[in-house]
A and B are shown apart, each in its own frame.
Chain A
Amino acid sequence: MKTIFELSSPGRLGVSLPELDVPEAPDIPAGLSRGSEGGTGLPETTEGQILRHFIKLSTMNHHVDKGMYPLGSCTMKYNPKLHENLARIRGLSGIHPLVPDALAAGSLELMYRLGEFLCEITGFKGVSLQPAAGAQGEFCGLMLIKSYHESRGEPNRNEILMPDSAHGTNPATATLADCVVVGVESNEFGLVDPDDLRRKVGPNTAAFMLTNPNTLGLFESRIEELTSIVHEAGGLNYMDGANMNALLGIAKPGEMGFDVCHLNLHKTFSTPHGGGGPGSGPVACTEELAAFLPDPAVILEDDGGYKLCRKQNSFGRLLAFHANTGVLYKAYAYIRTLGAAGLREVSEIALINANYLKAKLGDYFDNPFDNGPCMHEFVLSGDRQAEQGVKTLDIAKRLLDYGFHAPTVYFPLIVHEAMMIEPTETESLEDLDSFVEAMISIAEEAEEKPYLVTDAPVNTPVLRLDEVKAVKDLCIVEPAPGEGENL
């Protein structure tokens, strides 16, 4: 398909602007102006051409409103339409972040109440809505933990323990926070091995970082023992809340020995993924850690007014302004729509849907950690199909032909040919059954006509793309007219 630049022709306008209604000021001095460089290279097209271009592009995307997205750990649930309208109400979307607090009383009240809801859901006392995404939430959490240890005269604590099944952001965040990653082994049940944890903790332990339910979709049953081991060694426990969709109204991280956790509003609380963002990764924590939360925090004053304030021992700021506020509006709307019973129902059905798929697919694919119920997701292995020459990547691509998005593949790293499947609660039984049929059909193809799977996808806007060539012949911007393809 043509790029927007190829649609450009000099003189075309995509916008109508008012005439300048004030006298002109003297020009910017020549040495500082764009002058000799020429223009900015932006295309010249009409509004209609632009609409057609982006709508054509849009038809090449899979999306939640079109079909199921069984992406493990990503919680691709339905995004309520009302919330898009609410976040766009002019009084909420058209307000500058630096207005005096009293002039943004509505946004501040909403943020304060959302913070309270998230504390209730997680069982914590303090919250920051600032982190822009899960990874920034992790960074925030580790900064709280470091501040805590420093305040106690233990700045040496710089080791972050995490299981080998951790999300890639966990070790990357530890590095960003100037800490060292210490791996903890999983046992034969796919759970953290308490004995190995006991061996790894020590005087340099800053924190144990754990996703619970873990990335195999299993609840860490010995959680109390694990968090106690870390506390006894003087460390703190961080919960990666990526899988919180399993626990709403069912269990609270704050009661299991965790000291801090982040939440992904774009997963658990239905805000849209937007093709990769924006997300929002609020952090909730114990009262002890709350003193270090990033600024600003929203507080309720005695006179009933809401105010932004700086915590005395705050570790700093993560964004120029308060938060991905527009995302907060949508998460607030979600919690207000569902209430306590509705949130509990979300997790109950998320668990039932996942266990249903696990039961239905068990005969056709290997499940290396099938020791009882899973939580909201589970991990299959494509080992059996790999023996036929059909890799998990092929199965993923073949699912696209059947109109489904692929599961998360090759993660967690502790499962060969991993396929991590999370249906979410918003899929109907009928849609789950269609997915099961597609998976069974692919398993049969892998045995009988493997080429159908290895050649997939064939029903998509493009066929399998050459990622090696993309790196080798790097082309990451459209060449300017007259330039070669590769810079």
Chain B
Amino acid sequence: MSRFVPNGPAQREKMLRAIGATKFEDLLEPVPEKFRLKEKLQLPEPLSEFELTCEFEEFARKNTGADLACFMGAGAYDHFIPAAVDHILLRSEFYTAYTPYQAEVSQGTLQAIFEYQTMIARLTGMDMANASMYDGASAAAEACLMAMRITRKQNILVAGSLNPGWLDVIRTYLKRDDFEITEIPFLEDGSLDLAIAAELIEGGAAAAVLVQYPNYFGLIEDLQPVADLIHEHKGLFIVAADPVALPLLRSPGDAGADIVVGEGQSMGIPMSYGGPYIGFMAARMKLARKMPGRIIGRTTDRAGQTGYVLTLQTREQHIRRDKATSNICSNQALMALANVIYLSLMGEKGFREISSQCYHKSHYLEKKLLEIPGVSRIFGNTPFFREFAISFPISSIELRDRMIEHGFLAGVPIVELGEGAMLVTVTEKRTRDEIDRYIGAVTQICRGGSA
């Protein structure tokens, strides 16, 4: 008997008798004999709590990458997580609860997610937000599908400066003969080629333009011209925004976005080798009824007290089935809770401070790196946030590998931009001492191995 199963031989016998069976196998009568397994599954012998803990510690030891100072980004970021976040996430009341379909016994989850929706809407400058998607990339893909449903057009224009992993996910979700995805190239300074964008949009076939903000290379560009162009031709403007940048940047809503999506991992969620993360999705109020995913709304109970429920459910799969706005059911609710706790702890000032430190620290590193002979900017003077694309005089893959010996995850090589090109990220967690040592190590490696 395992420690998870309370009914042992005594209870079994009593229950089988109540059922009218003599042995367990009687209950398998509907399963054809030939499909009943005759042999035990081939799995390793069970481990005790202590043994399993040791095995996991061994796995953790083998993850040597977790011990290095992380200057990698490209969609996942090493930010500080205040202790209070996990204390609340580890409350059984939240993490062992089901989806809040029975609202009367789920007010905790419901109100927390309502507050999450509010924070996402305010950060992005939009009217409303849903209760979460799987991750930023799948949220972007769902936003494209949503735009096509609304506009009844089947062409999506995507900025070439979008995270390539996200573009892969969008391609998967939009893999249909009648759907078309067109990339808008970027110029030498990394900003969108507005002339080509205008040409592509002017045909009027585009359901939406999707632009990442800041873009994959960390560059901040003015969203307004693209917004104006696509709106003139009755398409929607989708922005994939980095929430940590938003306290400093003009909000996508203010710049004309109709739908804003993004990855919420940076707000209180560990990198955890890729997940679970959370996609957010915000929109103009008039689009709320076309949105995928769960939405929490405020209402009253029979006594007139305020309460919260899942609302606009007729959009969803359990009611609308093949006509639903999406097939999503389970979302990333506990990660939304992590976001709302994190943002509450940070507050107006704290989140702005995090944003500002990422900005200044990344600029400090970039400036110092540019002093090393042979290191150069890839996108000129375009403003950037938290991460930047930079060219080293040696292969970026080699540099990355050699920096590991110095204790650094130096960045993400982007060989599409050149052999020495790397995307380097600096969050508020990186101290000046670490940054200076990083610069020292790069200087040493580049001097020794200059091509």
Q: Is the CB of B166 within 8 A of A320?
A: yes
The 5 A-B pairs at the shortest CB distance, nearest first, are namely A91-B60, A321-B274, A103-B65, A274-B334, A25-B363
> Does A309 lie at the interface of the complex (its beta carbon under 8 Å from any beta carbon of B)?
no
Given that A66-B92, A172-B327 are known contacts, is A477 also in contact with B30, CB under 8 Å in the complex?
A: no
Given that A318-B169, A463-B305, A465-B299 are known contacts, is A135 also in contact with B327, CB under 8 Å in the complex?
A: yes
Task: Specify which of B61, B88, B111 is in contact with A91 (CB 8 Å cutoff).
Answer: B61
Task: Specify which of A21, A248, A320 is in contact with B432 (CB 8 Å cutoff).
Answer: A21
Given contacts A346-B2, A411-B318, 8 further A-B contacts (CB under 8 A): A43-B344, A50-B84, A50-B341, A219-B30, A223-B32, A252-B35, A273-B98, A463-B302
8 contacts between A and B (CB under 8 A): A41-B348, A43-B348, A85-B53, A92-B63, A94-B272, A97-B274, A341-B46, A373-B30
**Cβ distance B354 to chain A, nearest Cβ, rounded Å:** 7
Q: Is the CB of B78 within 8 A of A96?
A: yes
Kindly list chain A residues whose C-beta atoms are within 8 Å of the C-beta of B181. Answer: none
Q: Which residue of A lies closest to B107 (CB)?
A: A60
Task: Specify which of B125, B145, B275 is in contact with A323 (CB 8 Å cutoff).
Answer: B275
Among A35, A109, A172, A274: residue with most chain B CB under 10 A: A274
Kindly list chain A residues whose C-beta atoms are within 8 Å of the C-beta of B407. Answer: none
Please report the C-alpha to C-alpha distance between residue A223 and residue B34 in the assembled complex, in whole angstroms.
11
Please report the C-alpha to C-alpha distance between residue A277 and residue B100 in the assembled complex, in whole angstroms.
11
Q: Which residue of A lies closest to B166 (CB)?
A: A320
Kindly list chain B residues whose C-beta atoms are within 8 Å of the C-beta of A300. Answer: none
Q: Contact mask A41-72 → B, CB, 8 Å, 1/0?
A: 11111010011011101111111111001010
Please report the C-alpha to C-alpha distance between residue A375 and residue B28 in the assembled complex, in whole angstroms.
8
Using C-beta atoms within 8 Å of the partner chain, give the interface range for chain A: 35 or more
Among residues 175 to 204 in chain A, which have CB atoms less than 8 Å away from a CB atom of chain B?
Answer: 175-176, 178, 181
Q: Contact mask A245-286 → B, CB, 8 Å, 1/0?
A: 000111110011000000000100010111111111000000
Task: Specify which of A82, A266, A272 is in contact with B49 (CB 8 Å cutoff).
Answer: A82
> Does A93 lie at the interface of the complex (its beta carbon under 8 Å from any beta carbon of B)?
yes
Task: Specify which of B41, B173, B175 is in contact with A343 (CB 8 Å cutoff).
Answer: B41
Kindly list chain A residues whose C-beta atoms are within 8 Å of the C-beta of B109. Answer: 57, 61, 275-276
> Does B131 lie at the interface of the complex (its beta carbon under 8 Å from any beta carbon of A)?
yes
Given that A120-B43, A405-B105, A487-B127 are known contacts, is A40 also in contact with B97, CB under 8 Å in the complex?
A: no
Kindly list chain B residues whose C-beta atoms are within 8 Å of the C-beta of A51. Answer: 84, 87-88
**Cβ distance A217 to chain B, nearest Cβ, rounded Å:** 10
Task: Specify which of A28, A65, A275, A477 is in contact with B333 (CB 8 Å cutoff).
Answer: A275
Kindly list chain B residues whose C-beta atoms are within 8 Å of the C-beta of A463. Answer: 104, 301-303, 305
Q: Contact mask B99-110 → A, CB, 8 Å, 1/0?
A: 110111111110
Kindly list chain B residues whose C-beta atoms are within 8 Å of the C-beta of A482. Answer: none
Q: Is the CB of B250 within 8 A of A105?
A: no
Given that A31-B250, A249-B37, A373-B21 are known contacts, is A95 also in contact with B271, CB under 8 Å in the complex?
A: yes
Using C-beta atoms within 8 Å of the partner chain, give the interface range for chain B: 35 or more
Task: Specify which of A95, A277, A478 is in contact with B114 (CB 8 Å cutoff).
Answer: A478
Q: Is the CB of B330 within 8 A of A465?
A: no
> Does B66 lie at the interface of the complex (its beta carbon under 8 Å from any beta carbon of A)?
yes
Q: Contact mask A321-341 → B, CB, 8 Å, 1/0?
A: 111111101000101111111
Kindly list chain B residues whose C-beta atoms are within 8 Å of the C-beta of A464. Answer: 104, 301-302
Please report the C-alpha to C-alpha distance between residue A12 and residue B344 in the assembled complex, in whole angstroms.
11
Please report the C-alpha to C-alpha distance between residue A356 and residue B303 in the assembled complex, in whole angstroms.
39
Q: Is the CB of B270 within 8 A of A320?
A: no
Q: Is the CB of A320 within 8 A of B75?
A: yes
Binds A, one of B134-142, B201-209, B369-377: B134-142
**Cβ distance A474 to chain B, nearest Cβ, rounded Å:** 6
Task: Specify which of B7, B99, B367 is in contact with A273 (CB 8 Å cutoff).
Answer: B99
**Cβ distance A189 to chain B, nearest Cβ, rounded Å:** 10
Kindly list chain B residues whose C-beta atoms are within 8 Å of the C-beta of A276. Answer: 98-100, 109, 131, 294, 330-331, 333-334
Kindly list chain B residues whose C-beta atoms are within 8 Å of the C-beta of A121. Answer: 41, 43
Given that A65-B96, A318-B172 are known contacts, is A169 also in contact with B24, CB under 8 Å in the complex?
A: no
Please report the C-alpha to C-alpha distance between residue A33 and residue B355 in the assembled complex, in whole angstroms.
12
Q: Is the CB of A106 within 8 A of B43?
A: no
Q: Is the CB of A105 within 8 A of B63?
A: yes
Q: Is the CB of A466 within 8 A of B299?
A: yes
> Does A384 lie at the interface of the complex (its beta carbon under 8 Å from any beta carbon of B)?
no
Q: Is the CB of B19 within 8 A of A355?
A: yes
Kindly list chain A residues whose C-beta atoms are within 8 Å of the C-beta of B74. Answer: 98
Q: Is the CB of B301 within 8 A of A462?
A: yes
Q: Is the CB of B250 within 8 A of A32?
A: yes
**Cβ distance B153 to chain A, nearest Cβ, rounded Å:** 17
**Cβ distance A105 to chain B, nearest Cβ, rounded Å:** 4
Please report the C-alpha to C-alpha distance between residue A332 and residue B45 in the assembled complex, in whole angstroms.
13
Task: Specify which of A53, A174, A335, A429 is in contact with B43 (CB 8 Å cutoff).
Answer: A335
Kindly list chain B residues whose C-beta atoms are within 8 Å of the C-beta of A255. Answer: 35
Please report the C-alpha to C-alpha distance between residue A372 and residue B67 in the assembled complex, in whole angstroms.
57
Q: Is the CB of B96 within 8 A of A273?
A: yes
Please report the C-alpha to C-alpha distance between residue A35 and residue B125 in the assembled complex, in whole angstroms.
13
